[in-house]
Homo-oligomer: A and B are copies of this chain.
Amino acid sequence: MYAGGFTGKILRVDLTKKEATTEPLPPEVARDFVGGAGLGIKYLFDEVPAGADPLGPENKLILASGPFTGTTVPCASRMAVTGKSPLTGAVGMALTGGFFPAELKFAGYDALIIEGRAETPTYLWIKDDVVQFRDASGLWGTTSGDCQQMLKDDLKDQNIRIACIGPAGERQAKVACIINERRAAGRKGLGAVMGAKNLKAVAVRGSNEVVIADGEKYQAARDDMRRQMRESPVLYSEFAKLGTPMVVDLTSALGILAAKNWSATGQFVPVETLGAEAQKQVNVGRNPCQGCPVACSQLKLARNGRYAGTLAEGPEFESFYSLGTQTGVDDMDAVIAADRLCDELGMDTMSAGVVVGFAMELYERGLLSKEAAGGLDLTFGNDEAMMALLHQMAFREGLGDILADGVKAAAEKLGGEAAQYAMHVKGLELPAYDVRGAKAHGLNYATSYTGADHNRGYAFQEIFGIPVPKEYDRLAYEGKGELCKWNQDIRTATCDCPTMCAFLLDTTLPATAAQNTAALLEAVTGLACTPEDVWALGERVNNLARAFNAREGFGRADDTLPRRLMEEPLAEGGSKGQCIPQANLDAMLDEYYAARGWDVSTGTPSRARLESLGLGYAADQLGV
């Protein structure tokens, strides 16, 4: 049915049985879910039963690229990693770029499904059709960088691409991520899932090419997209030079760069030391993903003091927040060093940094003693304490053992008032944007199927002022339910499934994203595809993800925000006086559920909407 883009083959690996099998990617699945998050959520819903322990052998990890991955479609070198999140208990899905995703495609697979649990530390070595389960005892305990180099040396092939966990994932720290090259499938604790499976790494090398169904259509669609990219006023002129961290200045100006565990947004605004001008001083090179013409990824180098000599890919914008403003650390070199440390230890910079800021607020409020902190002075801004605590989290030492599972679990263990300061939704730590000053983005935190996730429905209208589909006042509540749905669906359909880089959507192509995706899908795969089909794809995947969560017991009550955001107005800055009171959140939720065609009282997807999207089987399971 499809003639290109897809390999048509899924590799299924059972770690318990040490069995690797391949199976076809059914044409209707390819058509309805396309790839990436779509494929991941489809297999997750179908194969991981309700109530499964995220860290048990029943959980699965689905690594899926999209039909454009490995082609010359710009910015399509990504894959989604999907599993049940140990942080949230909901859908865990995180995307990563770099070179591993294309290599997996070149090896012949649209997706790799990892099941079961190895008895002893294991790594997978996939070389085209040959799949080996290999002893990883020598790799166990290594950092992500060392692990990758050791594998390349051991396998005597420097061109292997590797996705692996660091010490944090080995210890099933729920803030652990999966690292490939210098990149991360960062959030939702999927590194802990890999660690729980005793899987240190997946090494892959492929020799196949990706077939294009219709060369002429393809060239036209791709060239058209490239032209739009060239015409963008920000993509190559600014975004390519600074990458995501260019947003530090903008969010500071808007008063929505969260600081000191969200107690000082608008007050702690270290643009001078962490902003664009300061970034230019430490940017020393780029580290583009496979085949990317933009190359936004910046390598930053600390040159002074105790962190001198430390290089990092990034910090990306979100890490400037989590390891910078969130912890009150305004020293560029320290943020670079913390970013590198998290990458090496295999910890999500975002969750890890939010956890540190959480501990710092508890410490400053006297809710956490210096003794309980193992002697660390956890005052906001103490970068040495941050570094020590990050290390302890990855190795589950001392206080780090409690913090390693994220703020929600840590607050439960610490008890008392701690939960008041745990900044998360559904267990996932909050991203940088203080959504008290960006209401649709706040609604997205509340409703995203992965928890507080800026990347599932990024409200670029509110952040960048891009008037697509129309102009929005970032501080208004009306219309934000519909906007949130719009953002989530377009993001899912044009980024998370195909799998295209989200930065393109956010900065350049929102107005034409659905058309571009449809044209490219037709050309690459040979499947008929209209912009309407693309929109339906976005809605389908969001509904199936919601159905998975509903099956796990999530409902309207979980679509909420931390108390602080609802009750504490911002004291200073460009969004001074703003918060999102419960009543306003409720109103936005009502509008959102209505737009989604979901039950307004429970937030459960309706049979009608599910059936209209070809998801009748999900309705059956939910009993709606």
Contacts and interface: CB of A to CB of B under 8 A. Distances in A.
A284 interface: yes
A394 interface: yes
A553 to B, nearest CB: 37
B158 A311 contact: no
A334 B168 CA distance: 21
Interface string A269-310: 000000000000000110100000000000101010010111
Interface stretch (A143-151, A457-465, A532-540): A143-151
A38 interface: no
A593 interface: no
A166 interface: yes
Contact of A303 (B141, B146, B309): B141
A150 B299 contact: yes
Q: Which of A141, A167, A309 has the most CB of B within 10 A?
A: A309
A82 to B, nearest CB: 28
B391 A142 contact: no
A139 interface: yes
Nearest to A388: B306
A46 interface: no
Contacts of A284: 137-139, 141-142
A146 B311 contact: yes
A304 to B, nearest CB: 8
A345 interface: yes
Interface string A125-142: 000000000000111011
Given A167-B308, A308-B395, A309-B167, A301 B141 contact: yes
A299 B166 CA distance: 17
A374 to B, nearest CB: 12
B306 A150 contact: no
A145 B311 CA distance: 10
Given A158-B159, A159-B158, A287-B153, A142 B395 contact: no
B287 A143 contact: no
A145 B142 contact: no
Nearest to A166: B309
Q: What's the interface size class on A, roughly?
A: 20 to 34
A348 interface: no
A394 B308 CA distance: 10
Interface in A91-148: 137-139, 141-143, 145-146
A318 interface: no
B395 A285 contact: no
A216 interface: no
B138 A311 contact: no
A143 B337 CA distance: 13
A339 interface: no
Q: Which of A143, A153, A154 has the most CB of B within 10 A?
A: A153
A100 to B, nearest CB: 13
A392 to B, nearest CB: 9
A309 B159 contact: no
Nearest to A288: B153
Nearest to A143: B309
A139 B285 CA distance: 8
List 3 A-B pairs, minimum CB-CB distance, nearest first. Answer: A158-B158, A138-B284, A138-B285
Interface of A: 137-139, 141-143, 145-146, 150, 152-154, 158-159, 166-167, 284-285, 287, 299, 301, 303, 306, 308-311, 344-345, 388, 391, 394-395
23 contacts: A137-B284, A138-B299, A139-B284, A141-B303, A141-B308, A142-B301, A142-B309, A143-B309, A143-B310, A146-B311, A150-B285, A152-B158, A154-B285, A158-B158, A158-B159, A166-B309, A167-B309, A306-B388, A308-B395, A309-B345, A309-B391, A309-B394, A309-B395
